[in-house]
A and B are shown apart, each in its own frame.
Chain A
Amino acid sequence: MLSEAINRRTLLKTAFVAGGGLALEAIIPLPVWAREAAAVPATLSAFVSIAPDGIVTIVSKNPEIGQGIKTSLPMMIAEELDCAWSQVRIEQADADAKRYGPQVAGGSTATPTNWLPMRQAGAAARAMLVQAAATQWNVSTEEVTTSRGRIFHEGSGRSLGYGEVASRAAGLPVPEVNTLRLKDPQQFTIIGQSVVGIDSPKIVKGKPIFGIDTRLPGMLYAVYEVAPVPGGRLLSADIEAARNAPGVKHVIPLTGNGDADQGLADGVAVVATNWWLANQARKQLQVKWDLPAAQGHSSETYQSKAEAAFGAGAGEELRRDGDPSAQMTSAVRRVKARYQYPFIAHAPMEPQNCTALYKDDKLEVWAPTQAPGGGLNMIQKALGVDPGNVTLHLTRMGGGFGRRLMNDFMVQAAAVAKAIPGTPIKLLWSREDDMRRDYYRPGGWHDFEAGLDADGKLRVFTDHFVTFSTDGKPARAADMGVSMIPAGLVAHLRYGRSMIPTVLRTGPLRAPGSNALCFVSQSFLDEVAVAAGTDLPRLMLSMLDGERREIKPRDGRGPPFDTGRARDVIEKVLQTSDWARKPQQSNRAKGFGFYFCHQGYFAEVVEASVTDGNIAVHRVWVAGDVGSQIVNPMGAENQVKGAIIDGLAQALAGQEIKVVEGVVQNSNLHDFPLARIGTTPQIEIAWVKSEKPPTGLGEPALPPVIPALTNAIFAITGNRIRSLPVQLKTA
């Protein structure tokens, strides 16, 4: 380390690099909101280096899951460094929270967390290169300009490439962060351009870059059989037949640490020279399980328990504004409806897998994980291997949608590898394993009531939410934010909650909470709008009317809700979709949905048709506000379109996890269908650029499309869709 500068906020360091050049590390405190979410540490780091040949190497620290972060974060650094994108090489970092800070692909947090720090890192490196050149030329830095990786002195016509001054720059003191000048967005040459994903050229050629592609000398392949109900304990296993099956090298019963959710589940590993042989041999295992009591943990029983909960009262009070019961009694008009949605699976295309090698008391892991830190904790807890003795390489992931925030596959691979020291093990789940061992998006039920004034104004709104619990608390990703819209927009409001225990594992799925809450609340508000003689966008606009205001979340968690930004996206989509103009055909209509989540504001309109009971989506209009700048429009548009089609598939493809006595009945993509190419609508996106810093896009575009669709179906058929997946009532 040659020098460092400290100010109250940010620490910059240069480092010596063999072969010369400049290497810079910027260590930046996290914004307060991100610090809360990330626990430790409270800083993040950016690494950039410039080699004597001018090649700029940027370390990409976050896991790449298809959200494009491996391209977009380096774009921020390269922009302020003012180099050409073609000079940039990107290296994927290993997991190392102490070095890099939070390395999580989840919650659409990477863009807002990194927007300023990544640019500061680039600007700092640029400032040092400029200083080095100015010193060499004996001119003032004020006379020096940069463009596409070169430094110019206009007065003398001289110029130098970044590489030519990089070694000299490395010897300079690092600048004070508060002296760094960031570009005016008008000057951006990389941010805001459509940049092809950094791994795309490898992907189209089938290069081995995914977790499942990991290959090591002497590697064996493993499957891991677990109990059909989470938490089942291994009583006995007859492994003789499997052990004698072709290609099988090891059959290893493993006792876990009794934590089926965040630990190692009991199971039997079958390890062979080929994964297919391991999976074939597994069918010959005779395993006896001690299953947890799962009686009553069936889809149908859950349904009757939810109905019983509705009959038993209004649930534990989560939020009360004003005097909802009195206002409801005196309302001129009341609307009541119950909504529900099922458990659904993530079903990323790449099944869960992980490669591990245990040697000399150290573990080396290659993992497609969205949350590497969580995996290290699990390995420590279940296997007693200290994170300091684990090297964790982050691979590209074949999708995740939240599934890979959980690391059960990682601890399983590590456990099998630990049982066979010195032999690299690739653990891979079959699609059936992946479908049956998910942390599902929890199902839920809502009993809504709304009360209207004589002039049709929404005066009071109540919801009794029935959700699932684990150990008496809301199951993971099963709670309801007390800020669910229209909270804060209606004077009198009550949200209550009842809970049903579940043995299923649950977890976040793309736009967790919101993907279901938006469907139920925006559909019910559409019913309210119809009862009030208006339509949903007009009802929403009337609630958002008046002076622009920021509504702070009641529980203090998350960003405020800006009524102006909400209004702007709604008005935008009404305009782009030509909302007032109804489709000519009687079997076609438009529907509307709005939501705010993950700091993004999205309003969406769906044009659908119903023909002989078949629902088709023709067009979708999207208006979104994720701040002042779209970092990579090509990537951003893809995220939005993917989210729209994902949401439509949740509603229309027939996605529903069915459970009987704790055992998931779905097995593969025939009984948990995903969207296919033939159903793809035309999707038009309009960005509403507010003055706020840019925020993430992996999630917030998804929720509104579901009620936009179901509200369109109502407009066509009069059939109100109150349950997912959509089923039309037959006449």
Chain B
Amino acid sequence: MKYKLHINGQVHQVEATPEMPLLWVLRDELGMVGTKFACGAGLCGACTVHVNGNAQRSCQTPVGAVRDAKITTIEHIGETAVGAKLQDAWLKVDVMQCGYCQAGQIMSAAALLAHTPRPSVEQINTAMAGNICRCACYNRIQTAIQIAAGMHEDPNHVV
């Protein structure tokens, strides 16, 4: 099947079986490898993208179901105001250790802030519950989201 996908403000034509998860269309058909594979079962959130502004697991999203929905990935989230603030905040506290899950974390956080601009720690924990960080950088994820939301003082750091 041929599909026209609206990804990051551009139209991409791909040929794929309808069941192929969006994750593998992004990674192996379009070469957009920022979106990560980790469990393939919707358990960890590493593959999170935005579908019409909502956080969605791309490993559980068949390409045939995407139709003309607007897809945003980590490669493009910095073009949005919230995304750029999150990326800055992530660097201010240097959230990551291995960094592998962070694309999914930032995508989930961006969807959270789009709907809840000033989230409490409880709201952060609820929104981010589906995103596993195996290195367990969770304290810093909480802090970075609050910095991006303008709720937290910037820590000192060297860049």
- Complex Cα–Cα for A196 and B35 (A): 23
Q: Which of B105-139 contact A (CB under 8 A)?
A: 106, 124-126, 128-129, 131-139
Contact of B31 among A201, A215, A396, A634 (CB under 8 A): A215
- Complex Cα–Cα for A683 and B140 (A): 11
Among A6-14, A108-116, A348-356, the one that faces the other chain is A348-356
Q: In the complex the two chains form, is A349's CB within 8 Å of B125's CB?
A: no
Q: What residue of chain B has the Cβ atom nearest to residue A273's Cβ?
A: B28
Q: Which of B15-63 contact A (CB under 8 A)?
A: 16-17, 20-21, 23-24, 27-29, 31, 33-41, 43-44, 46
Q: In the complex the two chains form, is B136's CB within 8 Å of A351's CB?
A: no
Q: In the complex the two chains form, is A197's CB within 8 Å of B96's CB?
A: yes
Q: Does A384 contact B (CB under 8 A)?
A: no
- Complex Cα–Cα for A333 and B119 (A): 56
B138 neighbours in A (Cβ, 8 Å)? 645, 675-677, 680
Q: In the complex the two chains form, is A677's CB within 8 Å of B40's CB?
A: no
Q: In the complex the two chains form, is A206's CB within 8 Å of B136's CB?
A: no
Q: Does A188 contact B (CB under 8 A)?
A: no
Interface size of A in residues (CB-CB distance below 8 Å)? 67
- Complex Cα–Cα for A86 and B158 (A): 9
Distance (Å) between the CB of B88 and the closest chain A CB? 8
User: With A276-B28, A277-B20, A677-B124 given, is the CB distance from A349 to B94 under 8 Å?
Assistant: no
Q: Does B101 contact A (CB under 8 A)?
A: yes
Write out, one digit per residue, whether chain A residues 381-399 have a CB within 8 A of any chain B CB (1) or not (0): 0000000000000001111
Contact of A205 among B20, B74, B94 (CB under 8 A): B74
Q: Does A199 contact B (CB under 8 A)?
A: yes
Q: Does A572 contact B (CB under 8 A)?
A: no
Contact of A199 among B99, B101, B126 (CB under 8 A): B99
B139 neighbours in A (Cβ, 8 Å)? 641, 680, 682-683
Q: In the complex the two chains form, is B91's CB within 8 Å of A206's CB?
A: no
Q: Does B102 contact A (CB under 8 A)?
A: yes
Q: Does B64 contact A (CB under 8 A)?
A: no
Q: Does A674 contact B (CB under 8 A)?
A: yes
- Complex Cα–Cα for A199 and B138 (A): 19
Q: Which of A190, A194, A205, A221 has the most CB of B within 10 A?
A: A205
Among A64-72, A178-186, A606-614, A713-721, the one that faces the other chain is A64-72
Q: Does B87 contact A (CB under 8 A)?
A: yes
Contact of A349 among B28, B41, B132, B159 (CB under 8 A): B132
Q: Does A195 contact B (CB under 8 A)?
A: yes
Q: Does B146 contact A (CB under 8 A)?
A: no
- Complex Cα–Cα for A347 and B38 (A): 10
Q: Which of B16, B132, B142 has the most CB of A within 10 A?
A: B132
Q: What residue of chain A has the Cβ atom nearest to residue B93's Cβ?
A: A634
- Complex Cα–Cα for A383 and B62 (A): 39
Q: In the complex the two chains form, is A399's CB within 8 Å of B98's CB?
A: yes
User: With A349-B134, A639-B97, A678-B129 given, is the CB distance from A208 to B39 under 8 Å?
Assistant: no
Contact of A206 among B38, B103, B124 (CB under 8 A): B103
Q: Does B10 contact A (CB under 8 A)?
A: no
Q: How many A-B residue pairs have CB under 8 A?
A: 190
Q: Does B141 contact A (CB under 8 A)?
A: yes
- Complex Cα–Cα for A581 and B56 (A): 46
Q: Does A729 contact B (CB under 8 A)?
A: no
User: With A430-B40, A642-B136 given, is the CB distance from A66 to B96 under 8 Å?
Assistant: yes
Q: In the complex the two chains form, is A204's CB within 8 Å of B136's CB?
A: no
- Complex Cα–Cα for A634 and B74 (A): 25
Distance (Å) between the CB of B25 and the closest chain A CB? 8
Q: Does A638 contact B (CB under 8 A)?
A: yes
Q: In the complex the two chains form, is A85's CB within 8 Å of B158's CB?
A: yes
Is chain A's binding surface mostly helix, strand, loop or mixed?
loop
Q: In the complex the two chains form, is B158's CB within 8 Å of A194's CB?
A: yes
Q: In the complex the two chains form, is A350's CB within 8 Å of B75's CB?
A: no
B101 neighbours in A (Cβ, 8 Å)? 349, 398
Q: What residue of chain B has the Cβ atom nearest to residue A278's Cβ?
A: B28
- Complex Cα–Cα for A100 and B104 (A): 35
Q: In the complex the two chains form, is B94's CB within 8 Å of A634's CB?
A: yes
Q: Which of A196, A204, A645 has the most CB of B within 10 A?
A: A204
Q: Which of A168-196 contact B (CB under 8 A)?
A: 190, 193-196
Q: In the complex the two chains form, is B98's CB within 8 Å of A349's CB?
A: yes
Distance (Å) between the CB of A16 and the closest chain B CB? 33
Q: In the complex the two chains form, is A205's CB within 8 Å of B37's CB?
A: no
Q: In the complex the two chains form, is A638's CB within 8 Å of B27's CB?
A: no
Q: Does A200 contact B (CB under 8 A)?
A: yes
A398 neighbours in B (Cβ, 8 Å)? 36, 38, 98-101
Distance (Å) between the CB of A511 and the closest chain B CB? 15
Q: What residue of chain B has the Cβ atom nearest to residue A647's Cβ?
A: B136
Q: In the complex the two chains form, is A203's CB within 8 Å of B102's CB?
A: yes
Q: In the complex the two chains form, is B157's CB within 8 Å of A208's CB?
A: no
- Complex Cα–Cα for A430 and B141 (A): 27
Contact of B140 among A199, A396, A638, A676 (CB under 8 A): A638
- Complex Cα–Cα for A68 and B96 (A): 10
Contact of B24 among A66, A195, A276, A397 (CB under 8 A): A276
Q: In the complex the two chains form, is B157's CB within 8 Å of A204's CB?
A: no
Q: What residue of chain B has the Cβ atom nearest to residue A276's Cβ?
A: B24
Write out, one digit per residue, whether chain A residues 200-217 have a CB within 8 A of any chain B CB (1) or not (0): 110111111010110100
A428 neighbours in B (Cβ, 8 Å)? 37
- Complex Cα–Cα for A677 and B123 (A): 11
Q: Does A298 contact B (CB under 8 A)?
A: no
Q: In the complex the two chains form, is B74's CB within 8 Å of A274's CB?
A: no
Q: In the complex the two chains form, is B37's CB within 8 Å of A212's CB?
A: yes
Q: Does A431 contact B (CB under 8 A)?
A: yes
Q: In the complex the two chains form, is A274's CB within 8 Å of B97's CB?
A: no
Distance (Å) between the CB of B12 and the closest chain A CB? 15
A277 neighbours in B (Cβ, 8 Å)? 17, 20, 24
Contact of A680 among B16, B102, B142 (CB under 8 A): B142
Q: In the complex the two chains form, is A65's CB within 8 Å of B142's CB?
A: no
B103 neighbours in A (Cβ, 8 Å)? 203, 206
Q: In the complex the two chains form, is B96's CB within 8 Å of A669's CB?
A: no
Q: In the complex the two chains form, is A638's CB within 8 Å of B137's CB?
A: yes
Could you show 24 A-B contacts with beta carbons less than 8 Å apart?
A66-B97, A85-B158, A194-B94, A196-B158, A197-B94, A197-B96, A204-B87, A205-B74, A205-B75, A205-B87, A206-B73, A274-B24, A276-B23, A349-B101, A349-B132, A350-B98, A397-B98, A641-B137, A646-B136, A668-B43, A677-B125, A677-B128, A677-B138, A682-B139
